[in-house]
Amino acid sequence: MALAMLSQAGLATRFWDDAVVTASFLINRIPTPILNNISPFESTARPAYTSPVPSVLSSPVQLDHFQHTPYPSQTPSSSPIPQSPPAIFPPPINYTPASASSLQNQSHSSISSPAANAPAADTPDTDNLPTDDDISAKPTHHMVTRGKASIYKPKVFTISLDCLPRSALEALLIPIWKAAMLEEFLALLRNRTWILTSLPPGKNLIGNTWIFRLKRHVDGSIARHKARLVAQGFSQEPGFDFTETFSPVVKPTTIRLILSIAVTLGWEISHLDVNNAFLHGDLNEEIYMRQPVGFEQGDPSLVCKLNKALYGLKQASRSWFLTIQSVLLSLGFQQSRADTSLFFRIRGKEVIYLLIYVDDMLVTVKEKRMSCNVMEPRVSVPTWKDVLLSGMPSLVKS
């Protein structure tokens, strides 16, 4: 309470003792329900006094008890509680409020005749009111607009190529997006991603959707229109369509270690990016998918039995890692026991470290010329962009 009074009055804290004394004085003289609506001061063995709060509801206010003399107070000798100086009130004011009957009569009279107290309104001049001809007349301003000159521009509805299609059917109506979809579809067929067959009884059938993206240059211009067929993995049933989904990635500590070794020894560091990496993963489960919208082949009742993984499948990342792991082990690489995403090969003076993070690879070799023959045994493998083949002569494919 003392802090509240100091804050309200805007006083400094040096008046703290005065605020505490004032707060104690007020608390001791405020009636409280705990003491049967009397103040702590009255609860002591002192003469009671009447609270100087007039009543304005029942009868005219009586202010006779406001005396010119102060409230009775105990002398310091008779009470150990310190007393404040006597309070002196101003002389009484004779005030008698209006009776309830007069207020009621006055309210009834104002409600029954509201127009009597309102100021007289001026009678409208009907001669100056606008006619129907004036209202229907055109504006008389002299500004010449295209509408007044009967100049109208025809509305032309265009399709911006920067906008992504909202559905496959909409994309098929735009030539550049249809070409991107056809390119993706033909790539999947060349990769033998699926074969058409009938759906066996009791097998789960998952759907697919088309995802559209714009690849841009550094300056923001469009580099290419990318369409990707994505399987709806959320409809896969665990235990039937997939089992394990975990795919390891290289640890940040391993990356820092290999980079520090390469920088210290002056080795060549290169980056290899595998396009559509998940599409090269082999599937061990039987997964059936509907044919892509807009590219149905043969009987509409036929479905796609997946041989390769598709983006969106729950085991796609794991299938890709197992595939690249088998390829690297066949090339003489060894897998680290501390980090399963670190592969290395040491042959005499030849030292190669390869880190895998999903579809990105970081390769460091002891000598630059050694990287030319690393993937020679994989020359016969079709494309992979040529995944590890075309990228290995320089180990840079970004």
Predicted confidence (pLDDT) at residue 127 exceeds the cutoff of 60: no
Q: Which residue has the higher pLDDT, 62 or 334?
A: 334
Q: CA dihedral in degrees (372, 374, 379, 380; nearest 10)?
A: 180
Q: What is the mean pLDDT of residues 7-11?
A: 83
Tell whether 313 is covered by a domain.
yes
For residue 33, the surrounding DSSP H or E stretch is: none
At 20-33, the pLDDT tens digits run: 888 888 888 888 88
Where would I find the H helices in the chain?
2-9, 16-28, 40-43, 100-112, 114-117, 132-136, 168-172, 175-190, 252-265, 316-330
* Count of domains observed in the chain: 2
Tell whether 174 is covered by a domain.
yes
At 104-115, the pLDDT tens digits run: 555 455 444 444
Interacting residues of 226 by C-beta distance below 8 A, sequence separation 6+? 180, 212, 213, 214, 215
Residue 365 has which token pair? 């070799």
**SS3 (DSSP) at 304:** strand
Predicted confidence (pLDDT) at residue 80 exceeds the cutoff of 70: no
Spatial CA neighbour of 367 closest among 271, 269, 260: 269
182 pLDDT band (50/70/90 cuts)? very high
Spatial CA neighbour of 279 closest among 210, 185, 357: 185
pLDDT of residue 207: 93
Tell whether 9 is covered by a domain.
yes
Instruction: Give the span between the Cα atoms of 216 and 220, in whole angstroms.
Output: 6
Predicted confidence (pLDDT) at residue 39 exceeds the cutoff of 80: yes
Average pLDDT, the chain: 75
Q: Which residue has the higher pLDDT, 108 or 277?
A: 277
Tell whether 51 is covered by a domain.
no
pLDDT of residue 307: 92
At 311-324, the pLDDT tens digits run: 999 999 999 999 88
Residue 319 has which token pair? 């299938």
Tell whether 63 is covered by a domain.
no
Beta pairing class for 194-197 and 350-357: unpaired
Domain that holds residue 315: 168-378
Tell whether 318 is covered by a domain.
yes
Instruction: Give the span between the Cα atoms of 209 and 290, in whole angstroms.
Output: 10
At 136-161, the pLDDT tens digits run: 555 566 787 877 777 877 776 655 55
pLDDT of residue 394: 32
Predicted confidence (pLDDT) at residue 261 exceeds the cutoff of 60: yes
pLDDT of residue 52: 52
Both 222 and 364 in one domain: the answer is: yes
What distance lies between CA 291 and its chain's CA centroid? 35
Q: Look up the pTM and report it.
A: 0.51
pLDDT of residue 200: 92
Both 189 and 334 in one domain: the answer is: yes
When mean pLDDT is compared over 71-75, 79-83, 217-221, the highest value belongs to: 217-221
Q: In this prediction, what percent of the chain has a pLDDT beyond 70?
A: 66
Tell whether 395 is covered by a domain.
no
pLDDT of residue 321: 92
For residue 268, the surrounding DSSP H or E stretch is: strand 268-273
pLDDT of residue 345: 92
CB-based contact 379:393 (threshold 8 Å): no
- Mutual angle of helices 16-28 and 2-9, in 10-degree steps: 120
45 pLDDT band (50/70/90 cuts)? low
Where would I find the H helices in 227-385?
252-265, 316-330
Tell whether 91 is covered by a domain.
no
Instruction: Give the span between the Cα atoms of 196 and 194, in whole angstroms.
Output: 7
Q: Which residue has the higher pLDDT, 163 or 77?
A: 163
Both 34 and 176 in one domain: the answer is: no
